[in-house]
Amino acid sequence: MRVIVEDMRVIVEDMRVIVEDMRVIVEDMRVIVEDMRVIVEDMRVIVEDMRVIVEDMRVIVEDMRVIVEDMRVIVEDMRVIVEDMRVIVEDMRVIVEDMRVIVEDMRVIVEDMRVIVEDMRVIVEDVRVKVEDMRVIVEDMRVIVEDMRVIVEDMRVIVEDMRVIVEDMRVIVEDMRVIVEDMRVIVEDMRVIVEDMRVIVEDMRVIVEDMRVIVEDMRVIVEDVRVKVEDMRVIVEDMRVIVEDMRVIVEDMRVIVEDITFYLQPPKFLSQFGLVLPNYSSSEV
């Protein structure tokens, strides 16, 4: 019985350590969820900026439609990833809630076992009192030999009953050993589960770090795209100035052509004064 009680104390200590580890894991998961919320908010701001940039690029370059379509696909994939991660977080919350229920049930079991141990202590104390009474009876039996035979017969019956009780107690002790062994297996399984949850939390931390790097890269890309758009605006403005200059040049060339055309028609001018120039054909010239 002492060994069983000691084993139960060790099991209770292990369960307390496991509960403390689960509390730490839950706190880490809360921090990770908060970081993911901040990242999602940053991604929303980035998507809004990208929409403005896409609108400007549609006006400037028609070929940028393909790039915009690719960006939409990327945003849709990221939404799917975020939705999957939300589902994972919800599943982990359900698991933690189930584990809390299990811990509460184990606490109730421990309390019941404590009551059983207390009852067994009372039974042992009663047995000690009975033994003391039997010693007094043995002293009386030595004095009264005739009554001793009757008492011996009664004691045989008592001994037989005690054998039955001892056999029942052996069965109870064996059952309790099996229960303790099962509880040890449960504790070991819970330790494995806690280790797996720690690995999962570590993986989620790595995912969050990767997402932060991706967000930072997207910010750099957005800034580069903005710079390119500004450069393209400057180029377009320069091209407008060039076109305007070319229009002026064309207008000047039209005036020059008009003047040349006028000067290339001297016969019409000389005919007003009665002068006629020889009419050369193009081949003679």
Is 91 within a domain? yes
Q: Which carries the bigger pLDDT value, residue 202 or residue 130?
A: 202
Where residue 103 falls among pLDDT bands split at 50, 70, 90?
A: confident
pLDDT reading at 276 higher than 60 = no
Is 210 within a domain? yes
Is 277 within a domain? no
Rounded distance between C-alpha atoms, residue 213 and residue 210, angstroms: 5
Where residue 171 falls among pLDDT bands split at 50, 70, 90?
A: confident
60: CB partners within 8 A, 6+ apart: 229, 232, 233, 236
Is 100 within a domain? yes
Q: Compute CA 90 distance to the chain's CA centroid, rounded to the nearest angstrom.
A: 9
**pTM for this prediction:** 0.39
Is 259 within a domain? no
Rounded distance between C-alpha atoms, residue 174 and residue 84, angstroms: 49
Is 230 within a domain? no
Count of structural domains within the chain: 1
Determine the structural domain holding residue 40 and report its residue range: 2-221
pLDDT in tens, 184-229: 887 788 788 778 878 877 887 888 788 788 878 878 877 876 777 6
Share of the chain above pLDDT 70, in %: 65
Residues 89-101: what's their mean pLDDT?
Answer: 79
